Amino acid sequence: MRFIAITLIARSPDPQTGELTPTAERFRQVLDYARYAEELGFDGFGVGERHERPFLSSSPAVWLSHLAALTSRIRLFTTVATLSLVDPVRAFEDYATLDHLSGGRLELIIGKGNGSAQRDLFAVSEDDQWARNAESLDVFRRLWADNTITYDTRFRPPLDDAEVWPEPLQRPIRIWHGSATSTASIDLAARYGDPIFSANVTNRISPYTALIRRYREQWAAHGHDSAEAAVGAGTAGLSVHRRSQDAVAAYRPAFAQYLAAHRQSGADPAFTTLDEFVTDSSALIGSPQQVVDKVHKYHEQFGHSLVHVQAEPGGIEPAAHRESLALFQSDVVPALRHLPDPPWGWGSPPVGSSATARQESATP
């Protein structure tokens, strides 16, 4: 099993002062956590793409390009790249460039994206967002396989024997599909024979289990080898301490922020008490052994081979969060490495693999 740390670069008011951290300082903090993740031995670091408050992660390709220059080993994930909002040709140019600058360490997770403010900003309607996502993905994939493309697109000017550069370094590249609660994302991934990454952060385990079960059923229905299906899963929080009481106490301010965010939005929280959140959510809160047991519990349902944790504190005192990340790597990860990696192993997919064949043969 592999482990990545991710961030959406949220910028929220300080709970004591009410002041917003300056953007430059928030960026410096993220860079520090990315370098720390590599130092600790995490397998990957991810930056999301959001185009609305309170997030500052509107340019993941720029972010990951900078991180490529500051790191040497860790794989760099888009968590996620919202292809429904951006021109797929521009996205290909950015990520093909990043693929070279990172020495082939790029890992793509794509998704439709959420939030009405983002749709309004890019003049995308809720009704056509899934169709945009599917078309952009197909254009993007075809460009990654061949820089010359003819495509009668619906949502951007048609492409007629168009050449787009640079050519990527990794050919093929693996494309994960990020899914929160949607069967449309699951079905698209299964059709292409792509891995999925379940958000797994909002609800109890059952709806995510149902989506992953559907993914495996659709995967088989499309004729793919069941042994090659791959699943990643998120976690709703992280607080690992030698004593479980200390882990819960350290997470208490973050849970207070969780409740406050729901009150502000008018939505009912899935978990109303911290004890309920610790027990029934995907959050990894407790002693190292309790965290290992929680991952095993989810693995029994998901069969997943990749896990993400929060790279940044998210309401926890920063020093405590750094200690938690370190203890996670030193005491939790070694106890879970025996669980299978993704079926292709780790790193770039080999040329001539079944992934290559699926990329070249997949059609809408």
* pLDDT beyond 80 at 271: yes
Task: Determine the pLDDT at residue 14.
Answer: 73
pLDDT computed for residue 363 by the predictor: 47
Whether the Cβ atoms of residue 179 and residue 185 lie closer than 8 Å to each other: yes
Q: Is the pLDDT of residue 131 over 70?
A: yes
Report pLDDT for 351.
72
Cis peptide before 291 (omega within 30 of 0): no
End-to-end CA separation in angstroms for the chain: 32
> Is residue 356 over pLDDT 50?
no
Other beta carbons less than 10 A from residue 115's beta carbon: 15
Mean pLDDT, residues 209-217: 97
pLDDT score of 341 more than 60: yes
308, β-bridge pairs: 4
Instruction: Report whether pLDDT(155) > 70.
Output: yes
Instruction: Quote the pLDDT of residue 54.
Output: 92
pLDDT tens digit sequence for 14-43: 766 778 999 999 999 999 999 999 999 999
Q: What mean pLDDT comes out for the span 335-347?
A: 95
The percentage of residues in the chain with a pLDDT greater than 70, rounded to a whole number, is 96
pLDDT-derived band at 72 (thresholds 50, 70, 90) equals very high
What does pLDDT average to over the chain? 94
Query: Is the pLDDT assigned to residue 364 strictly greater than 60?
Result: no
Range 346-354, long-range pairs (CB < 8 A, 24+ positions): 346/2, 346/43, 346/75, 347/75, 348/104, 348/170, 348/173, 348/174, 349/170, 349/172, 349/173, 349/174, 351/171, 351/172, 353/172, 354/193, 354/225, 354/228
pLDDT at residue 157 tops 90:
yes
Torsion of CA 187, 190, 194, 196, to 10 degrees: 60
Number of alpha helices (DSSP H) and beta strands (DSSP E) in the chain? 13, 12
What is the pLDDT averaged over residues 122-136?
A: 95
- What percent of the chain clears pLDDT 90, i.e. is strictly above it? 89
pLDDT at 130: 94
Pairing of strands 238-240, 231-233: unpaired
- 358 pLDDT tier (thresholds 50, 70, 90): low
How many angstroms separate the CA atoms of 332 and 339, rounded? 12
Residue 111 pLDDT exceeds 80: yes
Does the pTM surpass 0.85? The reply is yes
